[in-house]
Each structure stands twice: as structure tokens, then as C-alpha cells.
A and B are shown apart, each in its own frame.
Chain A
Amino acid sequence: MVKTEADIWTLLASVPDPEVPVLSILDLGVVRAVSLSPTGDQSAVTITITPTYSGCPAMDMISMNIRIALLEAGIKDISIVSQLSPAWTTDWMSEEGKRKLKAYGIAPPLSNAIVDELFAEDHKIQCPQCNSMNTELISQFGSTSCKALYRCLDCKEPFDYFKCHR
């Protein structure tokens, strides 16, 4: 039975990110606030989320998955508010989330801003397979908005890097 805001947070911890299902939406850092207000014998819940990339098609699905998780817990009065500012940053990703990403084969985001100097060498990204630092960027744009494509020059495997976004 959901009684407190802490219960809601626990519930949200089990909602996966649709594109990287090893991450929960809490690991991803998109949930900004949860509020619970009693209205009669039913509780009204408001969840505030922040989109990752403007065009990320997963955001609609994340809203829907939150709604389903709450409905299953017996909450009927649900509002999901999308908040643009402050803009989402990979700094909000949990340490636990970064560990899960790496175990899943995706290099986790570094805490560095995008190198906006043209042709500048990007920060060295560690291969999530063999841990080598001998890697190179293939493309700044990968299979989803949040990833860049790298290759490892030692184990020769290509891999995704979850881009630092701040």
C-alpha cells in the first residue's frame, strides 16, 4: 500500500528506461520531484520529469510506464509534469547507474563538458569490454540521441559511449 512519498520513490526505482533497460528512470536522473497530496480517501500524485534530449522518443514511453506503475499500485489520480529548466544533465545520473551501464557494455558518461573546439581530441573513453584506454571516436552520433559510437583499438570491438551532456 502506497502511503508516503518514499513509497512512490521506491515504486519509481522499478521503472526501467525503455532504451537502456538496465537503468531505472531514477538512475537516469529524469525524475525531479514527487509529491503526494491527500484528496479525500484517495491520494493525488504529481511526478515531475525532465526530458533528456528534446527529440528523445523514449520520453513519452517513460511517462506511460510511470503511469502504469502507479496505476498498478492503486493510485488513480496521477499528473506527470514535464519540466525543461534546469535542463537535464548526465551529472544527474546515479553512480549505481554508471556501474550498471558499464556492466551492460556501454561506457558511462564522464563528468566533462563537450569539447566544442573543432577537431579537438575528445576525452579518452575507456572500453567497457577490456578496460583499455586505447580507443577512438567513430561518430559523435550513435544509435540513440544519448550515445556516441567508439571503437576499441585493443580488443577491436565497437562500443557505445553514453555522451556527457551538460
Chain B
Amino acid sequence: MKSNYKVSVSLWTLTVKEIRRFLRIWVQTLVPPAVTMSLYFVIFGSLIGPRIGSMDGFDYIQYMIPGLIMLSVITNSYNNVVSSFYSVKFQKSIEELLISPMPNWAILLGFVLGGVARGVLIGFIVFGVSLIFYPEFTVANPLLTITVLLLTAILFSLMGFINAVFADSFDDISIIPTFILTPLIYLGGVFYSINILPDIWRSISMANPMLYVVNTFREGMLGASDVSISFSLGMICAFIAILTGACLYFLKKGTGIRQ
């Protein structure tokens, strides 16, 4: 009982610290996505969008909104955890956690909650921006939308954590986001429906995990998707379970944090 209380205090401390960190540097963390997404909405939504016409029966700008929210949520949850955990490692302040009686799962959860908080907050900011450009937007299925939002933020926070565990330099924390994550998201149906692709590319796209995340979210927001929702949700949950297991294993072994 006493020790449960202590663990919850330590978890709370870490989570608050993580949230404070990205709020303190809000110019680097909260403003850029709002600016970038405004540009996307102006250029692809308002200027080019009308020439594209409709996508899966929606205005192009409307179709883009869920995709851009997902893009922001994924990159921000990932980046938050990878940069925070790596800098804690780099500055050795990880020792403050390792020396304390805090269990590994609470350490992981603290960092993940930090990533989720940033991802979700950015999600709402981008949605807010999109309403400026497309005020008539209504969310088709709020429950599914929120569920996918949270699951996605958790999933990519975990991935960021693993990236940081193995990172040995600041280069290592940008290689995966730049060369793997971003291309997969852009090709994962953020800007288009895979129905417009030739057969071969459509089949290849089906192997891209981002496609499922983006489309499930689009189903929540618009009620339209290129993939099966229950399958996607199942896969997202399975990945979360596997990655959680991996993170806990690395923490227990001390990979990258204990010599």
C-alpha cells in the first residue's frame, strides 16, 4: 500500500517533468506544427485543393485534415520521447531515475505519457488550425477518433523510446524519423486515397503500417477508410503490446543505459 503510493508519486513526478519540458520549449515544440500545417492548408487545401476536386467523395481539404493531424501526432509523440530520453541519457540524469526505487514500468510509462500528452495536444492544435480553413468540419465518430488518437500517440512514443535506447549520438535520433518514419507516413495515405494508385502500388502500400493508422483515424473523423478498422485496431494494439514488452526488456537488461 505504502509502496504503491510511492510509485504513483514517482510516476506523477516523471510525467509532470516530461510535460513541463515540452511546454517550456513551446516555441520549438508547439508552434512549428501549427505553422507548417497552416501552410499545408493554405497551399494544398485552399489553393491547389479545388483543382484536385474530391477524394473518396470529400473535399480535398477535408480529406487532408485527418491525415495531417495523424502526421503531426506521430512525429511529435515520437520526437518527444526520443529527444527527451536521449538527452536524459546523454546528460546522465538517467542516473536520477536508476538510483531511485522507481520500477522500470513506471519509468517507461512516465516517458510515454509525456509523449502522448504532446502528441494529443498537437493533435488538438492542428485540428484547431484546420477549423480556421474548413469551419464546417464535423467529426463522424468521436469515440473512434479519440481512441485512435491515443493509441497512435502511445505506439509512436514507444517507438521513440526504443530509438533513444539504441541511440549513441544526436545523429541517431534523427536518422529514423527522417529516413524511415517520414517517408512511410507521407506514403501512408496522408494526402491521398490508395484507390487512386495503380494496382501494384496499392498492394505495396498495403504493407505500410502507417496506412492503417492514418486510415483508421480517417474513419473516425470522416467515416471513410481504405482498410478494415477492426483489423487495424487489432494490429495497433498488438504492436503496442510487443513494443511495451521490448522496452521493458531493454530497461531490465539495462541496454544503452547501464554499462
Question: Does B bind A?
Answer: no
